[in-house]
Structure 1
Amino acid sequence: MTRKQKRLSVIAAGLAFLGAATGFSFYALGQKASYFYMPAELATAIVQPGQRIRLGGLVEKGTIVHGRGASVAFFVTDEQRSVKVTCTGILPDLFREGQGVITEGTFGPDRVFIADSVLAKHDERYMPKDVADGLKARGVWEQSKTR
């Protein structure tokens, strides 16, 4: 093997290694991706059982029900549709009716969303971008002009 052939084989092996590493990285990231939906989008979306998704919208007024222990049930709405959410655990301090919220979890067999994490907006002027864009498109939410 000549010097040039050795160099080309080392370069080819390095490129093959980088290609394999990139492929495995994209595969691993694809397995952990969770897609964001608004309640109205879930009516037409195909969500596989056990598929992790993010559900965002507003906590519907009058729907927060505290169960036994740390379990809470509430509805997330975008003013067109609502989805029942159950969560066991501690909710954020700013979690309340009418607030923007993003929940992450899966759907149960009874089409109730089982959240394992709940994120609430952190002050009166902030709304997660995906939630704000979805609610603005439906004419439900306007950003506060107060500072």
Structure 2
Amino acid sequence: MKSLKKKRRMQVLALAAFALIVATVTIGYSMRGGINFFRAPSQLATEPPRPGEVFRLGGLVEKGTLKRGQGKVIMFEVTDGGASVPVKFAGVLPDLFKEGQGMVGTGTMENGTFVATEILAKHDENYMPKEVVDALKKQGVYEPPKS
């Protein structure tokens, strides 16, 4: 009788260990390409995205590049000081969106242009996403907000 209980306990422990390993591998596999919050323009120049890959692009809206096209289509360039990426967005921009400010957009690359489906802008005068600040500091072009 004791050996049957011991055998069942070992089977349950083995099954639990197997389930834990499968869960860990599944989570790791699903997160393999989505751990970064966004990519900077310099990263896109060195590591282009796969065709059709949805990702986030972050940086500063380059001054002098904001152009409004037909209807709701807006074109501008995003820079991190090391490289620039043209962006096309069809929709309504956030109220605080403007040139020289930080932004993060979600979308795909099509023929060298980032086609955004969503644009996020800073929410107050001093806010910029931490990842954008870190990327700008890495390029040596970060200017802290003036108090």
Same fold (TM over 0.5): yes
Deviation at 1:31, TM superposition (A): 6.0
Choose the corresponding residue for 2:79, options 77, 80, 90: 77
Return the alpha-carbon distance in structure 1 between the equivalents of residues 46 and 34 of structure 2: 22
Query: 2:90 matched to 1:94?
Result: no
Return the alpha-carbon distance in structure 2 between the equivalents of residues 107 and 80 of structure 1: 19
Return the alpha-carbon distance in structure 2 between the equivalents of residues 42 and 32 of structure 1: 15
Give the TM-score taking structure 2 as reference length: 0.86
Return the alpha-carbon distance in structure 2 between the equivalents of residues 31 and 136 of structure 1: 24
Return the alpha-carbon distance in structure 2 between the equivalents of residues 69 and 34 of structure 1: 33
Structure 1 counterpart SS, 2:29: helix
Deviation at 1:56, TM superposition (A): 1.3
Return the alpha-carbon distance in structure 1 between the equivalents of residues 35 and 117 of structure 2: 15
Choose the corresponding residue for 1:29, options 31, 48, 52: 31
Structure 2 counterpart SS, 1:27: helix
**Identity percentage of aligned residues:** 46
Structure 1 contact 36–53 (Cα < 8 Å) conserved: yes
Return the alpha-carbon distance in structure 2 between the equivalents of residues 35 and 145 of structure 1: 26
Where does structure 2 lack aligned partners over 5 or more consecutive residues? none
Deviation at 1:21, TM superposition (A): 2.4
Q: Across the two proteins, how many residue pairs are aligned to each other?
A: 145
Return the alpha-carbon distance in structure 1 between the equivalents of residues 52 and 42 of structure 2: 20
Where does structure 1 lack aligned partners over 5 or more consecutive residues? none
Distance 1:32 1:132, change over 3 A: closer
Return the alpha-carbon distance in structure 2 between the equivalents of residues 47 and 102 of structure 1: 16
Return the alpha-carbon distance in structure 1 between the equivalents of residues 132 and 49 of structure 2: 19
Give the aligned partner of residue 50 of structure 1.
52
Structure 2 counterpart SS, 1:56: strand
Structure 1 counterpart SS, 2:11: helix
Return the alpha-carbon distance in structure 2 between the equivalents of residues 26 and 42 of structure 1: 24
